[in-house]
A and B are shown apart, each in its own frame.
Chain A
Amino acid sequence: DTGVSQDPRHKITKRGQNVTFRCDPISEHNRLYWYRQTLGQGPEFLTYFQNEAQLEKSRLLSDRFSAERPKGSFSTLEIQRTEQGDSAMYLCASRGGGGETQYFGPGTRLLVL
């Protein structure tokens, strides 16, 4: 257990539905990252927050994706009008101020039918 938690761990939804995932980082970590990982591939960067500010967004983050970190603590990732291609593991990671190590959560596995 790295101290980063994600909820839910698994989500099955029908195409076209909206889904929202939550990430609770290690409490003193000000940096938070979202990644997507498909089967047999390494994680791909989606977006990055420093405190409550969303500082970077990947081109992978289409208009259907939105992420927030309203109080600089937990973060949410919402996918609107889900598509089958959105099926993946969504990973959250956090990092403290001085260190380079990112601590990953267990991930949320999404299946879009």
Chain B
Amino acid sequence: KNQVEQSPQSLIILEGKNCTLQCNYTVSPFSNLRWYKQDTGRGPVSLTIMTFSENTKSNGRYTATLDADTKQSSLHITASQLSDSASYICVLHGGGSQGNLIFGKGTKLSVKP
């Protein structure tokens, strides 16, 4: 069973609308949770990093939240733009080894005009 589950798998929204992407995880304990944006055919780009003690972290129009009790994180995108079309990947660093990064499969977001 994947330890990081993201939903929805894909999402289509109109330009200017808001959206929220979900990440449920079973990894415990963990040292930090990250959200990455990955354009098609490109490498992921870091959006936010939160430690287990943080509840929210913003980066421009992107706001990530973390509820360690329910083991859920969300990424909220405000006033979407066409350039937001990408896959958004939730990643947990389980701590310890450098290789202990557990990636979700991502949510593919399409923003239409």
Contacts and interface: CB of A to CB of B under 8 A. Distances in A.
A, B bound: yes
Interface stretch (B43-51, B61-69, B71-79): B43-51
A84 interface: no
A109 B99 contact: no
B103 interface: yes
Nearest to B104: A42
B32 interface: yes
Contacts of A2: 43, 45
Interface residues of B, number: 21
Contact of B98 (A44, A55, A103): A55
Interface string B77-104: 0000000000001010100011101011
Contacts of B103: 41-44
A41 B106 CA distance: 7
B107 to A, nearest CB: 11
B105 A40 contact: yes
B1 interface: no
A91 B43 contact: yes
Per CB-CB distance, the 8 closest pairs between chain A and chain B, nearest first, are A42-B103, A104-B43, A45-B99, A48-B98, A56-B99, A101-B46, A104-B44, A107-B43
16 contacts: A33-B98, A40-B105, A42-B89, A42-B105, A43-B89, A45-B98, A48-B98, A48-B99, A56-B97, A91-B44, A100-B32, A100-B49, A103-B46, A104-B44, A105-B43, A109-B41
Interface of A: 2, 4, 31, 33, 40-45, 47-48, 55-56, 58, 91-93, 100-107, 109
Given A31-B98, A42-B103, A58-B99, 12 more contacts: A2-B43, A42-B89, A42-B104, A42-B106, A43-B44, A43-B89, A48-B98, A56-B99, A91-B43, A100-B32, A101-B46, A107-B42
